[in-house]
Structure 1
Amino acid sequence: MSRIGRAPIAVTSGVNVAVSGATVAFESAKGALSFTLPAELSAAVKEGTLQFQRANDLKPTRALHGLYRALAANAVKGLTEGFTKELEISGVGYRAQAQGKQLNLYVGFSHPVLIDIPQGVSVETPKPTTVIVKGVDRALVGQMAANIRAVATAEPYKGKGIRYAGETIRRKAGKAATGAKGAMAK
């Protein structure tokens, strides 16, 4: 059996789990999430835990078993604690500003870059060089953070750009043009 798939998920108080047919729905005060199970899997709520079973032992089914169990665990965690991604902006004049349902990024282009904030995700800018993405859906939070980072990824020479908090950028040495010896120097 899939070791991840067979582990039961403890459903915390405040999160309601409903299994109807192939649909598993999660609901709490923070929001609601749901997904549809493939035909090879089934789910059941027993004694405050959510458990997944599979119909056969084929390798693709075992992979799906672990995947959907992990998705359900992320849904429960998201509806209780929530997910957060923090990004740092570095560079002269580089800054971010959240305005309503848009994020304005000033990252060295001739114009500000506007990114629409999807429903289910909130973006905060406590400092002009810090962006915090929050939400209950782990995939949505991660994708929004990746979209922001992709606007201007940190470059290796000066390190300016957008990076995740705690991410280290491998720095490169610049061109050593002065004092170079070679075919052109005489």
Structure 2
Amino acid sequence: MSRVGKKPVPVPSGVTATVTGQTVTMKGSKGELKYVVPNVVDVKFEDGAVSVLPKNQTKEARSLWGTSRAQVANLVEGVSKGFEKKLEITGVGYRAAMAGKALKLSLGYSHDIEYEIPVGITIAVPKPTEIVISGIDRQVVGQVAAEIRDYRGPEPYKGKGVRYAGEFIFRKEGKKK
């Protein structure tokens, strides 16, 4: 039994939820999101909450039960509050800046990296060593953060690179003479 899947997803005031077939649509102050629930899972909207149940007791249905419920919960949170990821840049000369509708990164390479910002995502650079990514779709926000971090991930010897805010980097000792 899925412990996550058993709980219905409450829909707060200011968010309208519609369930048509296997498609769940949420509209809120931040925007509109849709999610198509897999066919092995049943979804219903009743009493101001969206409930998700498996149609049968197969391994696939039980696996997707909690996942579908979490996806619907992410829709509700995305259209009401939104999601945010923070990145920190560490290293001498490493910095970020906005250049029009692109993010310009100086990460120690011979050239600057221009990252085109996807639709529905806003990127702010409060300090040259800090990047704030926000949007309503949790998956897209996380994907953008991962792509930016991939340009120069944190290395274990000096800790230089792009890391998530609060991420612990296991440091290694260098060579000994």
Q: What interval of TM-score do these two structures reach, taking the shorter chain for normalisation?
A: over 0.9
Say whether residues 1:157 and 2:124 are aligned partners. Answer: no
2:108 is aligned to 108
1:133 equivalent in structure 2: 133
> How many residues of Structure 1 are paired with residues of Structure 2 in the alignment?
177
SS of 1:45's equivalent?
A: strand
Amino acid aligned to 1:134: S
Query: Secondary structure in 2 aligned to 1:158?
Result: coil
For the aligned residue pairs, the C-alpha RMSD in angstroms reads 1.1
Structure-2 residue corresponding to 1:51: 51
Q: Distance in 2 between matches of 1:160 and 1:41?
A: 45
- Is 1:89 the equivalent of 2:128? no
The structure with more radius of gyration: 1
Q: Name the TM-score, length of structure 1 as normaliser.
A: 0.91
Partner Cα separation in structure 1 for residue 117 and residue 2 of structure 2:
37
Q: Deviations over 1:4-62 (max 9, x none)?
A: 11210110111111111111111112011101122222211111111112210111101
> What is the distance in 2 between the residues matched to 1:111 and 1:58?
52
Query: Partner amino acid for 2:120?
Result: G
Contact 2:134 2:141 in 1 (8 A): yes
Give 5+ residue unaligned stretches, structure 1.
178-186
> Which position in structure 2 is the counterpart of 1:62?
62
Cα drift, residue 152 of structure 1? 0.3
Matches of 2:41 and 2:170 in 1, distance apart?
43
Instruction: Give the TM-score taking structure 2 as reference length.
Output: 0.96
Partner residue, 1:77:
77
Counterpart residue type for residue 58 of structure 1: T
Question: Gapped runs of 5+ residues in structure 2?
Answer: none
Q: Aligned residues: percent identity?
A: 46
Q: Equivalent residue for 1:23?
A: 23
